[in-house]
Chain A
């Protein structure tokens, strides 16, 4: 399992190059906190939305695993995706804590899934593919929409992982593993409205 990208790494990746990833996040604390505190409100809004998206994804994967309706291979990938989302959550939540604010945590948001979402393996992987498509679009939208350039590389790396989730679960649900050369980026209102369909 890879280590999560810390807030420091998210912020310093572009500024300091790949070598920054070898530096402990705490060693970059002062630089990071200064940079994060100065984040525009629009960037923080994107970070909050992505935190909400990661909480939704984590909730979904843990519920899907608990449902016990998937075979060994799919269950293994559900657990792997859950671990990925947990690490993504840590990374985007640190953007918010770095700005002196409090990110949402598990339990803050009550999620609501369409009837039958967890009824079978097919319904689970199909929903996973749809959800991951929204989350991928949200990350791509954030990369387009945020003003802080130093955050973009870290978010792009998360988006790459989300694209893997889209591909696997879409194929597992009977769809094509890859289609569009340029997956669409969602605006913040599109992403917000799409994610809000799954909240109580």
Chain B
């Protein structure tokens, strides 16, 4: 735990240094790859996609200001769309591209000593709450959620600290210095061992979309473009999803294997493919089949009595996949 907390403090120190240093932050450009300025919620995920880049993590707002003031970044990766859009309007960056999404969450210390069960418990007197300052995206999203739920005043009355990043909020919660903190869901996924999660209601969630853009004055345009393609690639997107972020759009299922590819009514068939989570129907030439979800990449179904040869269809809320199948 101490290693984790020390690393959180290290993140906090970097954030503080960036916030205080403004454009004076000068990453070591002698390292391989490009220089990426990114919101602190991506501290863990980006090096997993490419450890060769030089990363500076901090408040997206602060990083945007630094880039506008000439800081030597190649790419800005922001925890919102507004900072890149503003810089694009000023000609500081190229056209932004959305690359992932996130949700707001509440974390409490493991064991939940204040016995907080829902966001509404934070409206009662007693719990000590950490939030990020409204000048950084996660702080702005927090206020947005609380306003939308009509509980901003009551919750703010329990706020004891306003941090400069989500990483700082996580550190305060992990150390037990506060009873709860508002962060991104991806912050919880990084360290579920020392934190417990309380959901923020979906009906009140803000739209948290991350956008990235190449810095116009970057001397490494080609490498920056390659990095952005890597982030948007299926492999890059998987790393984000594996670390608690949301995909840009829900994925359509695919079928890569049907075993056996022929069967009589009543036979069990195994489908291999992708994105089977959330499957709502399996049909054989239009006849509904009883199915069982095994994993995101595996489904089994029973060939229905009235099935005719033709195709198997797997349906999820985003779309459908088909594959040939012979009955008999």
CB-defined contacts of A110 to chain B, threshold 8 Å: 202, 246, 250
CB-defined contacts of B280 to chain A, threshold 8 Å: 63, 66-67, 118
CB-defined contacts of A118 to chain B, threshold 8 Å: 280-281
One of B5-13, B34-42, B203-211 contacting the partner? B203-211
Q: Beta-carbon contacts of A114-128 to B below 8 Å, as 1s and 0s?
A: 010011100000000
CB-defined contacts of B246 to chain A, threshold 8 Å: 110
Give residues 10-67 of A contacting B (CB, 8 Å).
40-42, 44-45, 48-49, 51-53, 59, 63, 66-67
Give residues 131-187 of B contacting A (CB, 8 Å).
147-152
| Inter-chain contact A192/B150, CB cutoff 8 Å | no
A24–B280 Cα distance when bound, in Å, is 40
Q: Among B147, B278, B281, which residue has its beta carbon within 8 angstroms of that of A41? A: B147
With contacts A115-B293, A119-B290 taken as known, whether A196 is within 8 angstroms of B283 at the C-beta atoms is: no
Is B201's CB within 8 Å of the partner chain A?
Answer: yes
| Inter-chain contact A66/B202, CB cutoff 8 Å | no
Is B310's CB within 8 Å of the partner chain A?
Answer: no
| Inter-chain contact B281/A52, CB cutoff 8 Å | no
Q: Beta-carbon contacts of B23-57 to A below 8 Å, as 1s and 0s?
A: 00000000000000000000000000000000000
Q: Among B148, B203, B315, which residue has its beta carbon within 8 angstroms of that of A53? A: B203
Q: For the complex, would chain B's binding face be called helix, strand, loop or mixed by DSSP majority? A: mixed
Q: Among A40, A48, A66, A195, which residue has its beta carbon within 8 angstroms of that of B281? A: A66
Is A68's CB within 8 Å of the partner chain B?
Answer: yes
Q: Among B147, B203, B291, which residue has its beta carbon within 8 angstroms of that of A49? A: B203
Is A199's CB within 8 Å of the partner chain B?
Answer: yes
Q: Among A53, A69, A104, A108, which residue has its beta carbon within 8 angstroms of that of B288? A: A69
Chain A proximity of B208: nearest CB distance (Å) = 11
A63–B151 Cα distance when bound, in Å, is 33
Please count the residue pairs between chain A and chain B whose beta carbons lie under 8 angstroms apart in the complex.
80
Give residues 282-328 of B contacting A (CB, 8 Å).
283, 288, 290-291, 293, 315, 317
| Inter-chain contact B120/A195, CB cutoff 8 Å | no
CB-defined contacts of A45 to chain B, threshold 8 Å: 148-151, 204
B287 nearest CB neighbor, chain A only: A68
CB-defined contacts of A49 to chain B, threshold 8 Å: 201, 203-204
Chain A proximity of B265: nearest CB distance (Å) = 16
A109–B246 Cα distance when bound, in Å, is 12
CB-defined contacts of B293 to chain A, threshold 8 Å: 115
Q: Beta-carbon contacts of A150-180 to B below 8 Å, as 1s and 0s?
A: 0000000000000000000000000000000
A196 nearest CB neighbor, chain B only: B201
| Inter-chain contact B283/A195, CB cutoff 8 Å | no
CB-defined contacts of B315 to chain A, threshold 8 Å: 66-67
| Inter-chain contact A195/B201, CB cutoff 8 Å | yes
A188–B151 Cα distance when bound, in Å, is 11
Is B257's CB within 8 Å of the partner chain A?
Answer: no
A-B contact pairs, 7 of them (CB 8 A): A40-B150, A44-B150, A68-B283, A109-B202, A110-B202, A189-B120, A192-B118
Residues of B participating in the A interface, judged by any CB pair closer than 8 Å: 118-120, 147-152, 199, 201-205, 207, 246, 250, 278, 280-281, 283, 288, 290-291, 293, 315, 317
Which 3 A-B pairs have CB atoms at the shortest separation, nearest pair first? Answer: A52-B203, A45-B150, A199-B202
